[in-house]
Amino acid sequence: MAVAVGCAPTCWVEEEKKGLREKATEFHQIFSEVQRLGGDDDDLPHPLQDITDLELEEIRQLKHPPEPVRRVMECVYLILYADTPPGPAGLTWLTVVKALVQTNFLRNVRRFEISELAAKPFIVDCICREYFNRANVEMRLDRVRRASSAVVAFFGWTIALLAGVLPKWPVEQVAGAEPRQVVFELEAERRVLVKQEIERKEEEKREQARKEETKKEAKRLGEEEQEQKKQEEVERERQRQEEAAREKAEHEEVAQQAEEAAQQAEAARRAEEERKLRAVRVERARQEQVVQELEVAGYQKLCVWNLASNPDRRLLHADGSTISFPDDANANFCNVLTCDGIKEGIVYYEFVMHHIGDEQWCGLTTDSSQGGMRISGWNLRPAWTYYCGRRWAHTLAHKMQGVPGLHVDKKAVQSFARVVSGDVIGMLVDTQRRGVAFLRNSDLQGACLLDSTSKLLYVITHLDAAGDTVELHAHAPSHAPKAAFDAIDALFVGRGDA
């Protein structure tokens, strides 16, 4: 750790000490208010006016400071805190840093009163002789500036204080001639540099003021020019408006006559268009009604039960699209198919289950010969049907043979909800993609693929108990719930042939 060499003691007689201390009491000015630089006309800023906490922190962080930095901050420490010169061991940098880290350090430096230093002739004498002799070249402005720009302000503060207080004592009593001369030379140099900096800043201010004035003048001239142009534009606009008013007045009567003629012609045109539009609407409504009637007739045709080709038609009763199984005394069951099968398009069927006595199947088949009581519902093939399930009172209702579900070619492939009297079975058939979806009261139950053949698809129902009654409806695809289409779409996910 670098330390300052102890100051050589100066011989003081008791009378001299007493006289010097009495003179020190005459100093009461705050440092920033004294004539620090020796001239009555000086008004220079405080040396530490612009120093920041960041610059002070830069000094605090130095563990092995350059020699000029160490010696300057030792002087600051002695001025602020020392009452007597340091001993032969001198000051350690750690002692100086402990003072620097105090939160009020910078405030104490700025508010230091020169009267406090005037009461420390021993300290002034020690600083001058030890730090500002001719041999100590480290305590020169250029050396200090190269070592640390942050320390320059403290160096100027120290020089200004010493130069301000030294004239109060005789040369032979405090400091001696040579150190005083060094201090005064450094102070004179500092004053010149400070004044030059002040003049430079003043010149910058004057130049900035000139620029601002030039800018204001240019702005004023620009505003005057803009105002003049604005007035000229207003005048031109006024003239244009007058000219337009004159032209309007000249053509107003002609325009009014032309407008009246145009209104009359427009009214006649609109009346003719309205007449034609009414005729088109009437014709379109008539055509739509014809198409709707034809469409309804086509869907109604798909709901006709084929009794003529059914070998056991004597067991059945048909009323329009409603088929019933009046009596099961002569047969245990009877299958019924529609007259017409479908080969193209999409059709949405609804089976209205007016009455279910036991189990029943509703769905599709490509074999039109399965009508009658030759084949039971468990043996329908090829067929894709909604098996309604046994009635709850039946002993097989809770066994596999009685659970409702999707039956494909004599096999139960998926469980469905049980259908009871009054329910409606929905069936969406897509012949192009060969898919079918089943619903119960509009709730989706499931879907499956049909065979890949292009055979006709016939609607089939299996009537099982006396009183079983089913009513069949066929609709356009728009009647089907969206869930049915989504279910068929899902059959083709990942297949690449959707």
d(CA 370, CA 376): 9
Give per-residue burial for 216-241: e unless 16+ CB within 10 Å, then b. Answer: eeeeeeeeeeeeeeeeeeeeeeeeee
Q: Phi and psi for 287 in degrees, rounded to 5?
A: -65, -40
Instruction: Give the pLDDT confidence score for residue 293 in this predicted structure.
Output: 61
pLDDT in tens, 474-493: 999 999 999 999 999 999 88
Considering only CA atoms, which of 80, 95, 92, 90 is closest in space to residue 8? 90
pLDDT of residue 397: 66
172: three-class secondary structure by DSSP: coil
Q: Is 428 left (phi over 0), alpha (psi -120 to 50) or beta?
A: beta
The pLDDT score that the predictor gives to residue 50 is 59
Question: Mind listing the pLDDT tens digit for each residue in 347-386?
Answer: 999 999 999 998 999 999 999 999 999 999 999 999 999 9
Tens digit of each residue's pLDDT (9 = 90 or more) over 243-292: 999 888 888 888 888 899 899 999 999 999 999 898 888 877 775 665 56
Q: What is the pLDDT of residue 45?
A: 59
Residue 15 in 3-state DSSP?
Answer: helix
Give CA–CA dist 281/269, Å, rounded.
18
| pLDDT for position 150 | 77
Place of tokens 């508010």: 111
pLDDT score of 48: 65
Q: Which residues of 145-157 are buried (b: 16+ CB within 10 A; e: fewer)?
A: eebbebbbbbbbb
Cβ atoms 320, 339 nearer than 8 A: no
| C-alpha dihedral sign at 248, 251, 257, 260 | negative
**Could you report the average pLDDT of every consecutive run of 10 residues in the chain (498 residues)?**
43 38 36 36 57 75 84 86 81 82 82 84 84 75 79 84 86 83 82 82 87 90 92 92 90 88 91 89 71 72 95 94 93 95 95 95 96 94 95 74 92 95 97 96 97 91 95 96 96 71
The pTM (predicted TM-score) of the whole model is 0.45
CB 53 within 8 A of CB 107: no
Give the residue ranges of DSSP H helices in 132-176: 141-147, 152-165
